[in-house]
Structure 1
Amino acid sequence: MRRIGGLALLLALAACRSGGGVEDAPDVPAPQPGVDVQRIEAVLSFDPETMTLVGRATLTIAHPDTVGRVWLGLSGAMEVGTVEVGRQPVAAEREGAALAVPVSGVTSVVTLAYRGVPDVGVYREETPSGLVVWTDGWPTRAAGWLPAVHHPSDPLVLDLTLEVPRRWDVVASGTPAGETVENDSRRARFVTSESAPTYTLAWAVADFAFTDQSGSVSIRHVTLAQDSASVAFLSRTPALLDTLAAFLGPLPYGRFATVEVPLVYAGMENAAAPFFQTELYDAPAALEEVVIHEAVHQWWGNDVTPADWRDLWLAEGPATYLTAETVRRLDGLEAFRQSLVQMALLDRRSAARRLVPARLADPEDALTATPYQKGGAVLHLLRLTLGDEVFFRALRQTLRTYDDRPLSTAAFQSELEEVSGRDLDAFFQRWVYGTGVPTLRTRWDRATGTLSWEIESGWGLERVGAELLVRQSGATDQYVPLDDGVASLPGDENPEVFPVGWLAEVR
């Protein structure tokens, strides 16, 4: 039986990550060499009815003593009042969504007061459960409400206090660190225990239903009232988190929450509290697979961040492939193989495209099937090439070495080579930096019931254990080793041939 899971939905909706609305992402300043926003303490007062936000953010920033000024991204819709450095007022320069703050020395504490109605990054929608307001930071939309360096190479710790009218519930990235209700206001504080890129820092306000779940870490499911019964679909969340921790290490951020909001795409990997699309709560299998995908991101993409938007495959490739691996450990080999076949069903252009683009004018241009599915397929081929023990040991070492640090593709290759003791330059030149895919030529002889095939040489696919799925109408699916080159089939119909987790043009 063919599994119809969340991977298909997730991949189909990846290109919709243009945000909660139709606005373009702010044109924020590029990161400056040596400038590192390490921590932000933000206090926001927000009215969901009027969408008015009043904020005060204190940033701890390390920087070279020669930098002169640091550039931060904050939407032009936010009116900046006072700017202080070390509690001393300074004159900042403003150019659209760019804010230049004068600094000296090697560390500065910068405090900004601002207010306005966000024009990007904060969204609202009426639902059967009432009004929902949520944020979406991808790729730079967090600049709609948070001043920061909005680039994956500069992850930070966020200490967020959000004040709303008392009838509203609040959820946010990080671990809850206290909530008070006084008079007509609710104040809730959340702290990320480890760094995360700004596009994974988010909050939501609505009339939520909360369900806590027992597990080895703190787990909470946050739904809209209309879907509170759908929490039953998430019963395996403790098992999937424990499964991931068994081969990746302890869960970053120390807790995990699922949050339902009206996203236009399947899920968003917000640190410690991923957001999920409302439509998924009517699709149990899809919901669970997307939860696994966003859970993997807590390690790959959040705790270890891509060094550049061009390295996005280092977040989406592991999230896609390790979702399939988690399915294998929970549901068995057949489920794993089906997930791999689905992952490798990639259109010709996306399969042939470089995993690391030579140039990328806009980070949203990276949101194709390539970093997801091709990224996952390349990881599967690395696993076949290196063997299970070395492959997973290399993943764990990379997570330890680059904990709270940006990871480039070159650095990932170095980690794999160090652990395996192998030169992987040819592999990376072919599959990561190169274009095209190998050709798999097949021949069906109906008279003898024989299917034969030949893979184009030079791609490193021979003698690594790669498999093919052979599907024939009216017959049971067969998984056959690529190296066999021939298989006998029981039926007369022309068979279909699918690579299992690796890429090829089948002819």
Structure 2
Amino acid sequence: MPSRRRRTALLVVIAAVAASAVVAAPSVAVAAPPVYTPGADGAGDPYFPFAGNGGIDVLHYDLDLDYAPPAPEPAPLTGHLSGVATIDLVPTQDLSRFNLDLRGLTATAVTVARKAATFAQVGDELVITPTKKLKEGKRAQVVVTYGGPTTRPTDIEGALYGWVTTRDGAMVVNEPDGASTWFPVNDHPVDKATYTFEISVPEGLVAVANGLPTGPPVTAGGTTTWNWDAPDPMAAYLATASVGDYVVNQYTAADGTPIFDAVDPTRLGAPSADLALTSDMIVFFAGLYGAYPFNSYGAIVDDDSVGYALETQTRSVFSRSAREGTIAHELAHQWMGDEVSPFRWADIWLNEGWATYSQWMWTEHRGGATAQQSFDEVMAIAADDPDEFWQVVVADPGALGLFVDPIYDRGAATLHALRVKIGDDAFFELAKAWVDRFGGATASTAEFTALAEEVSGEDLDAFFEAWLYAPEKPTEW
């Protein structure tokens, strides 16, 4: 047994060691609780501030639609659409609530993660407050039941778009923000998603959507149901669910792409020979831009009097007629606009310029005017043209300038001038690199100009300033 003095000294040492251990113990950081906030009510596009929404990344839409077209004349041109949209999404922030775009139709029930959610419709926004807040990165499923009468909505310019009711069905064309007229959606190109469709219509009508049918239509009790699968990422403005008294033609293009054409019987004579060129066009554009990017292609030719054509993904829509040049234009969009979509609507010249220039190149391929001749026609327009053709800023035309002629023709002329400046090898390397690098997503004018400099090895600042940003006719570049 140690002496009292030694025992006391030992206790002092033990106490000192214990105290040192307490001081040396590492501090444990306590994570701050997540701060749940509402998602933004727009995707941030200055042209359309409330198009799209913040805080969510939609992965997939499953749309179960039941549509009754208008009764025969003289009944009003009003149909009725009922839908259940099952939406798989991932929050990009800790969410207390989030929005979807929904215009002109009424939501009657919403669930999030199988639990009833509180919701309200404020203007064109469906504001959803889930029972349990959503954690960033944790996948959730949203189910919206909705419906209402359908008419003929118009865009910011007063042109028909969205779910355009017709006497025998509907022509569905959404650019730029009309998808919200027929389903709840994150309605901006930056949020691409995959789609499946189940569309029930009166027996005898055909419902055509994106992608491929998953089986033959099923008819029971006077209703026919069509099922479609679109497995490639798609901007909402490129979705369709057109309904009509169509004649269907299915075949396979030379590169193996399945083709599904749906043509109104009153238009059968006009487009048939030109539509038959689709296979050759696919092969031609694949040689310029790379393999056709989607699982199918085809056309919807309606008899509506709108005079509309849209590069609906995998199934371009034409009203009244489908002529060779327009068919080439919309098909080229499948690469330039659909596979690579605009980051902001100000970038639309990349869609329309490439599609128009593709049309020029196809015309030359067919023995018509050369691309250089088409370019010369544009350059023949006077600098003081009364329609102010040269005063449009191509890379920033404004919300009301998305579809004006300079976006198409000056966009194409920009590309031809670039081709002449950097040479064919670099230009077509650029075209393929554009699709390869940004395919399945979106890209901006800044990213295009940077890629052009990267591929060509040239300083192109002055060139693009003259062609895309200066509100005047280029004279040197």
Q: Which TM-score band (shorter chain)?
A: 0.7 to 0.9
The residue type equivalent to 2:246 in the other structure is F
Residue 59 (1) aligns with residue 87 (2): yes
1:450-505 Cα distance to aligned partner (Å, 9 max, x none): xxxxxx5xx22xxxxxxxxxxxxxxxxxxxxxxxxxxxxxxxxxxxxxxxxxxxxx
Which residue in 2 is equivalent to 1:314? 350
Q: Secondary structure at the match of 1:251?
A: coil
Work out the number of aligned pairs and report it. Answer: 400
One of 123, 130, 142 as aligned partner of 1:110? 142
Which residue in 2 is equivalent to 1:6? none
Q: Secondary structure at the match of 1:294?
A: helix
Q: Secondary structure at the match of 2:291?
A: coil
Q: Do the aligned residues in 1 keep the contact of 2:172 with 2:240 (CA within 8 Å)?
A: yes
The residue type equivalent to 1:113 in the other structure is T
One of 257, 271, 292 as aligned partner of 2:298? 257
The residue type equivalent to 1:272 in the other structure is T
Distance 2:214 2:187 in 1: 25
Tell me: CA distance 1:125–1:110, structure 2 relative to 1, closer, same or farther (3 Å): closer
Q: Do the aligned residues in 2 keep the contact of 1:52 with 1:116 (CA within 8 Å)?
A: yes
Distance 1:274 1:375 in 2: 21
Which residue in 2 is equivalent to 1:401? 437
Distance 2:265 2:402 in 1: 35
1:270-292 Cα distance to aligned partner (Å, 9 max, x none): 111111121x35xxxxx010000
Which residue in 2 is equivalent to 1:155? 192
Q: Do the aligned residues in 2 keep the contact of 1:240 with 1:330 (CA within 8 Å)?
A: no
Q: Secondary structure at the match of 2:259?
A: strand
Residue 188 (1) aligns with residue 223 (2): no
Residue 208 (1) aligns with residue 246 (2): yes
Tell me: CA distance 1:302–1:263, structure 2 relative to 1, closer, same or farther (3 Å): farther
Q: Which has the higher contact order (CA 8 A, sep 6+)?
A: 1
1:138 shift after superposition: 2.0
Q: Do the aligned residues in 1 keep the contact of 2:150 with 2:165 (CA within 8 Å)?
A: no
One of 42, 48, 57 as aligned partner of 1:36? 57
Q: Secondary structure at the match of 1:352?
A: coil
1:37 shift after superposition: 1.8
Distance 2:324 2:91 in 1: 42
Which residue in 2 is equivalent to 1:290? 326
The residue type equivalent to 2:202 in the other structure is P
Q: Secondary structure at the match of 1:394?
A: helix
Pair member with larger Rg: 2
Which residue in 1 is equivalent to 2:209? 172
Distance 1:254 1:330 in 2: 26
Distance 1:310 1:170 in 2: 33
Which residue in 2 is equivalent to 1:235? 276
1:31 shift after superposition: 3.6
Residue 352 (1) aligns with residue 387 (2): no
1:90 shift after superposition: 0.9
Residue 303 (1) aligns with residue 343 (2): no
Distance 1:33 1:436 in 2: 37
Q: Do the aligned residues in 2 keep the contact of 1:55 with 1:115 (CA within 8 Å)?
A: yes
Tell me: CA distance 1:268–1:30, structure 2 relative to 1, closer, same or farther (3 Å): closer
The residue type equivalent to 2:229 in the other structure is V
Distance 1:82 1:200 in 2: 26
1:207-229 Cα distance to aligned partner (Å, 9 max, x none): 21122344221123321112223
Residue 277 (1) aligns with residue 319 (2): yes
The residue type equivalent to 2:393 in the other structure is R
Distance 1:33 1:383 in 2: 38
The residue type equivalent to 2:142 in the other structure is V
Q: Secondary structure at the match of 2:260?
A: strand
Q: Secondary structure at the match of 2:357?
A: helix
Residue 340 (1) aligns with residue 367 (2): no
Q: Secondary structure at the match of 2:196?
A: strand
The residue type equivalent to 2:299 in the other structure is T
1:167-202 Cα distance to aligned partner (Å, 9 max, x none): 211212222222222232211112223122211111
Q: Do the aligned residues in 1 keep the contact of 2:57 with 2:92 (CA within 8 Å)?
A: no
Which residue in 1 is equivalent to 2:41? none
The residue type equivalent to 1:58 in the other structure is T
Per the normalisation by structure 2, the TM-score is 0.79
One of 225, 230, 237 as aligned partner of 1:199? 237
Distance 1:42 1:310 in 2: 30
User: CA RMSD for the aligned pairs?
Assistant: 2.1
Distance 1:401 1:426 in 2: 24
- Counterpart mapping for 1:319-334 below 5 A: 319-331=355-367, 334=369
Distance 2:243 2:223 in 1: 13
1:377 shift after superposition: 0.7
Identity over aligned pairs, percent: 25
1:205-250 Cα distance to aligned partner (Å, 9 max, x none): 1221122344221123321112223312322211111101111112
Distance 2:463 2:274 in 1: 40
Q: Secondary structure at the match of 2:269?
A: helix
Q: Do the aligned residues in 2 keep the contact of 1:28 with 1:73 (CA within 8 Å)?
A: no
The residue type equivalent to 2:184 in the other structure is P
Which residue in 1 is equivalent to 2:119? 92
Unaligned runs of 5+ in 1: 1-26, 282-286, 439-455, 461-507
Q: Secondary structure at the match of 1:60?
A: strand
Q: Secondary structure at the match of 1:350?
A: coil
1:345 shift after superposition: 5.7
1:351 shift after superposition: 2.1
Distance 1:211 1:301 in 2: 26
Distance 2:471 2:189 in 1: 25
Q: Secondary structure at the match of 2:354?
A: helix
The residue type equivalent to 2:325 in the other structure is E
The residue type equivalent to 2:200 in the other structure is E
Distance 1:33 1:95 in 2: 16
Q: Secondary structure at the match of 1:315?
A: helix
